[in-house]
Amino acid sequence: MSGRYSSGDRRQKGASPVLLMLDDPGLVDEVAMIVTVTGRRIVREDETTNLPGLVVVTDSLDPHVPETAGGRSSVRIIRVSGTPVVGSDTLQIPEAANQLAAAIGCHDPLDIAVAGVVGGAGASVFSAALAGAAADPGPDGTDGPGQALLVDDDPLSRAGQLRLLLGAERDGEDGPGDSEVTWVQDVGVVESRRSSGVSCAALPSRPVVRDCGRRDLSALPETVTTRVLVVPQTVPAVVAARHIVAVCGQIHVVLRELPRSGLTWNQTLSLLGRAPTVTWEDDPFLTVDVDRGDFRTTGSAAGTAGTAALRLLEEIR
């Protein structure tokens, strides 16, 4: 028998387990039954240390989330309550049982890590454009509810740089009741160092794009489904990328064209040792858009970065 084996099928097999951190004993059986419907397994707190990812369902406003091998940004937190909570993203159980099942999800969403081979490669800009593209549910509707999370996963970055890039500090687009997420259109910006985990509102699980700066892509947690390396079209950058790709072969290469780089296409292929996954064409307006905080994650305001991100997502899905 033949059939389509989608990315959703693959992610369901390795879906992160669920930890119940519930103080209200009346919620335990109801929530456990909902988790069973999603096909995920339930683990104890002492079993979480070596897990690459985890979904925490809790009725606490400030839960003590356990450490996992995947780090804090690989933990999703879903808050529930047995009584109504006004002005909050907390799900009331059993009334919101369907919403809880959707928030937990049957499989983990896309988790894409983006790094630059050198400083100034444009990893943050491309991460933002890729998050905008990933917010689209995709052709089979399995990759998100029309929103995506953009996570600052670069330990050396300046706090708030992604919000500044997207003009969120100027526009004041923080969502109500979602203090750990700053929403810019369909993309929620998360500063993972400021958060104990990625908090989930009453929505299905969202795709995640991590801006990793110059972090080692091979050292990221197993929950990362795709690794992307942004490579400017210069001799030092392309040669450095060749060594990285040789060590970690499962990497998508985004070649960023630069004016007057001095490298031809054939020279680039020879130095890199392979063809890039996609090419990010030069955008003469990008610098001005970034300086003004006018860069956006979708449409014409995303420029050529948005076009390249859409093409890359077609390869990933």
pLDDT, averaged in runs of 10, over the chain (317 residues): 41 75 94 93 89 87 77 77 80 91 82 93 94 77 71 82 79 49 86 54 69 88 86 96 89 93 92 96 89 80 91 89
* Contact by Cβ (8 Å): 132, 306: yes
Domain boundaries, the chain: 7-104, 111-316
In the prediction, which pLDDT does 65 show? 81
Q: Do 7-104 and 111-316 come out as alike in CATH topology?
A: yes
Using alpha carbons, select from 121, 118, 115, 114 the residue that is nearest to residue 240: 118
Q: Which CATH architecture has domain 111-316?
A: 3-Layer(aba) Sandwich (3.40)
What is 7-104's CATH number, 3.30.70, 1.10.3430, 2.60.40, 3.40.50? 3.40.50
- 197-200, long-range: CB within 8 Å, 24+ apart, which pairs? 197/56, 197/65, 197/72, 197/73, 197/75, 197/76, 197/77, 198/73, 198/75, 198/76, 198/77, 198/149, 198/151, 199/76, 199/77, 199/79, 199/89, 200/76, 200/77, 200/78, 200/89, 200/103
In the prediction, which pLDDT does 106 show? 79
In the prediction, which pLDDT does 154 show? 86
In the prediction, which pLDDT does 165 show? 86
The whole-angstrom separation of Cα 170 and Cα 167 is: 5
Structure-token pair, residue 295? 């860069």
- Count other Cβ atoms within 10 Å, centred on residue 172: 8
Structure-token pair, residue 287? 């610098």
φ/ψ of residue 264, rounded to 5: -85, 170
- Distances, alpha carbon 94 to alpha carbons 191, 198, 205, 247, in Å: 32, 23, 19, 49
The whole-angstrom separation of Cα 185 and Cα 175 is: 10
